[in-house]
Amino acid sequence: MSAKVQRGQSEESLGRMSDESAEAGGVTRRTVLRLGAAGGAGAALVAAQGFGGPLLSQRGLLGADGAFAATSAALGDTLFYIEAFPTSPLILSPFSDPLPIPKAAVPVPKSEYSAWAKTPGPGPGEQSSLGNSQHQIWPSDIGYPDPIVYKFDVQVDTHAFTTSQVLPIDSSGRPTASFDVSGTTFAAGTKRTLPLSTIYGFNGTFPGPMINAEYGKPALVRFRNRLDENPQNLDRQDFGAPDLSFLTHLHNGHTAPESDGNPHYTMRYGPQYEGYRPKMSCDNLYLNWPAGGLDAEKQSFLWFHDHRMDHTGSNVYKGMVGLYPIYDPKNGLDMGDERRGLRLPGVRTNNPDGSFDVKYDVPLVFFDARLDDGVTTHQDMHDGMGEFPAAKNPATHPEWWGKSFYKHFPNHGFVGDLFTVNGTAYPVMEVKRRKYRFRFLDASIARCYEFKLMSSTQGPKSSVSLGYTGDELQGQYRIPDAQQCMKFTQIANDGGLLPFPLVRDSFELWPAKRREFIVDFTKYQDGTPTTKGDVIYLTNVGKMLNGRKMDSYSRIGLDPAYMVPMLKFVIGDNPPVPDYSQMPAPTKMLRPLPYLPGNWQNMLDNRLIFEVQRGSAGGEMEWLVNGKAFEPATVATSLKNKAGLTPLAQQRKNSFNLWEIRNGGGGWIHPFHLHMEEHRVVMRNGQDVTGGVSATHPDDTGREDLINLDPSESTIIYRGFRDFVGPYVAHCHNLAHEDHAMMFGWEVTP
Ligand SMILES: [Cu+2]
């Protein structure tokens, strides 16, 4: 191992990691990255062997030394070619399961957590069960009350995507054979009930719990790893971190590094490992304190998800997703009570346990999956690294028929063909004749969506019945005669309330993005009142056949035949009490933007520059930032800026700067995420966008934690680095890209 690798890391922790590798019976993926740091050929060799040497050599892709002899493009295409995906069985009764609407998580009473063997607290060693980490800021340090305490166990459990019967089909849409765990084969045409999928979830559910948070009231979550327990003796299949470790990131809380799920932190402090392993616990402290203590920095909808280095995609796909709407009680502005403040839709009930629920304020989590067809070979380069020896891959797994399917290294990112909302495929929701607030979250690995509200006289038809095959079957249903019937009023994006609402016909949702909307179910866009029993479909019109980028969407031109219904709204009764909410006019100020210095252009020459690009080494280092794979022991270095400097990605606490994030490739999009503070896009492709609405990215006007980078785009963002010190990360939120090294470390220094 090279000296470079060991920088900032103790011999002891490295030694422990190699022991673990030996225990796991294979080379860890982190080791592969290490070899990469020592020399590209070494990494390529390991990657090639893991991937299947004979196959590569048959294809003329292995040199005499066993390293890849191919260009990255040929290699990438080979990987893509080899990675076949199953076709999910067709759901026969869509829009019959109700949309699950989460209830607020229940806090742990003080009487209970005071009796824990290790109580949450501000002292040295009290941040995790490892006893070597401390909360940087305890609520009392900022004049806040003690945190509300939650306990979420990370558990093995089951999940049903549908209760409907399904018809097994092949990629041509023809009925095909199916299987079960006992080895039975069912003839083509046999309708089946789906087996339950095994998940790793917060409290064993998908989506996991929802914390309704409030500014000024900190929350502390004790995450405990119980993934080693398997009381139902469930088959764990071949994805999810093989060592059963996890790491939780509250995306994008203004959170100290020890509670933020940063792999950059985690590898160096606390667990000194990629995540928290079984029987370990950590207390993530979410202060619910806006950056700088400023109202203008308040957010409105966060989510928490796994961030375990190298396996974030598979852990998230396996269920580690939770929700975190955050309300602002100051002057009643946005406190979940539509009679006060901005009068956004919401009827609040305070629960005796200290939590509260808000009716008519509904999170919608979008997640695409694939279900095993029993005949697709499970094979990717990681199978050669001993990650799941019991699966004996490459192999088919008829015993897993109908359960969720995932492979770690889909070269272009993973897209599913079964679309779910709040964990249910094609659900239905009965709505009152009133206004609703919907909080949209894309929790998918790589899929982007574009949503419209549409009506139809003929209703949905299965894509199979319309003659589609192959990738065009994705989404399973279409509405050939759909017409837009309502508009969305956007009130927030990932950074919180927008300065002003935006009225939109449709909007895109990229991975990890949040966008919030008011929908008025009393009337259509032409003013006609709705009537009881009317049906409106939330429809995906953005087609994305693989993880590269969308194939058709409004900005480049829609495929008029691609209208996939995802959620059916049925108009119900008038509400039992009046709707006191108000639809904000386009001129209504929701939340003013934070201060931007008038002379921000003066900072351009000294900006930090990060370019994201597909690498030439392939394998574990497929996706790079500034030509480098993620290295948790170091901070990244900027490309040379106009001032001729290449600064380290270090910022003084309470400073501000411009960072340029650039997509160096023309073939892919990247949803690029920066931890810890919201930013504001000030330039896109060389154009100053501070003055108004950007044509390509309309809500660039607000604060964000994700930059949507179209192919070859460049953005310059302005952001602060306030309140905390220590290591953080920034990374692509196409989780296949993140897990294959498109991430960099940066830090805030005292
Ligand atoms: Cu990416």
pLDDT tens, 613-664?
Answer: 887 766 667 788 999 989 988 999 999 999 999 999 999 999 999 999 999 9
- If you measure from the C-alpha of residue 661 to the centroid of ligand 1, how many angstroms do you get, rounded to a whole number? 12
Statement: residue 85 has pLDDT above 60:
yes
Strand locations in 432-487 (E): 435-442, 449-455, 461-462, 477-478, 483-486
What protein residues have CB closer than 5 angstroms to ion ligand 1? 670, 732, 734, 737
- If you measure from the C-alpha of residue 269 to the centroid of ligand 1, how many angstroms do you get, rounded to a whole number? 27
- If you measure from the C-alpha of residue 126 to the centroid of ligand 1, how many angstroms do you get, rounded to a whole number? 36
Half-sphere exposure of 469 (CA within 13 A, CB side): 6
Here the tokens at position 681 are 């896009």
Statement: residue 7 has pLDDT above 80:
no
| Surface-to-core class of residue 741, CB atoms within 10 Å of its CB (0-12 exposed, 13-18 middle, 19+ buried) | buried
- If you measure from the C-alpha of residue 616 to the centroid of ligand 1, how many angstroms do you get, rounded to a whole number? 15
DSSP β-bridge partners for residue 477: 462
Render 131-193 in DSSP notation, one character per residue: S----SS-GGGGTPPPPEEEEEEEEEEEE-S-SSEEE-B-TTS-B--EE-TTS-EE-TT--EE
Reduced to 3 states (helix: H, G, I; strand: E, B; else coil), residue 683 is strand
- If you measure from the C-alpha of residue 446 to the centroid of ligand 1, how many angstroms do you get, rounded to a whole number? 8
- If you measure from the C-alpha of residue 672 to the centroid of ligand 1, how many angstroms do you get, rounded to a whole number? 7
- If you measure from the C-alpha of residue 614 to the centroid of ligand 1, how many angstroms do you get, rounded to a whole number? 8
Q: What is the pLDDT of residue 69?
A: 32
- If you measure from the C-alpha of residue 683 to the centroid of ligand 1, how many angstroms do you get, rounded to a whole number? 20
Statement: residue 45 has pLDDT above 60:
no
- If you measure from the C-alpha of residue 674 to the centroid of ligand 1, how many angstroms do you get, rounded to a whole number? 13
- If you measure from the C-alpha of residue 262 to the centroid of ligand 1, how many angstroms do you get, rounded to a whole number? 18
- If you measure from the C-alpha of residue 663 to the centroid of ligand 1, how many angstroms do you get, rounded to a whole number? 9
The pTM of this model reads 0.91
Share of the chain above pLDDT 90, in %: 80
**Which pLDDT band holds residue 357 (cuts at 50, 70, 90)?**
very high
Highest mean pLDDT out of 62-66, 477-481, 737-741: 477-481
- If you measure from the C-alpha of residue 248 to the centroid of ligand 1, how many angstroms do you get, rounded to a whole number? 20
- If you measure from the C-alpha of residue 220 to the centroid of ligand 1, how many angstroms do you get, rounded to a whole number? 31
Which amino acid is present at 409?
F
Cα–Cα distances in angstroms (integers) from residue 517 to residues 111, 275, 441, 530, 547, in the given order: 39, 35, 12, 19, 26
pLDDT, tens digit, for every residue of 172-185? 999 999 999 999 99
Q: What is the pLDDT of residue 385?
A: 79
- If you measure from the C-alpha of residue 732 to the centroid of ligand 1, how many angstroms do you get, rounded to a whole number? 5
Reduced to 3 states (helix: H, G, I; strand: E, B; else coil), residue 569 is strand
- If you measure from the C-alpha of residue 442 to the centroid of ligand 1, how many angstroms do you get, rounded to a whole number? 15
- If you measure from the C-alpha of residue 352 to the centroid of ligand 1, how many angstroms do you get, rounded to a whole number? 44
Q: Compute φ and ψ for 550, nearest 5 degrees.
A: -70, 140
- If you measure from the C-alpha of residue 665 to the centroid of ligand 1, how many angstroms do you get, rounded to a whole number? 10
Statement: residue 9 has pLDDT above 60:
no
Mean pLDDT for the chain? 88
| Surface-to-core class of residue 352, CB atoms within 10 Å of its CB (0-12 exposed, 13-18 middle, 19+ buried) | exposed
Q: Which of 265-269, 293-297, 452-456 has the lowest mean pLDDT?
A: 265-269
Q: What is the pLDDT of residue 411?
A: 60
- If you measure from the C-alpha of residue 49 to the centroid of ligand 1, how many angstroms do you get, rounded to a whole number? 25
- If you measure from the C-alpha of residue 9 to the centroid of ligand 1, how many angstroms do you get, rounded to a whole number? 28
- If you measure from the C-alpha of residue 673 to the centroid of ligand 1, how many angstroms do you get, rounded to a whole number? 10
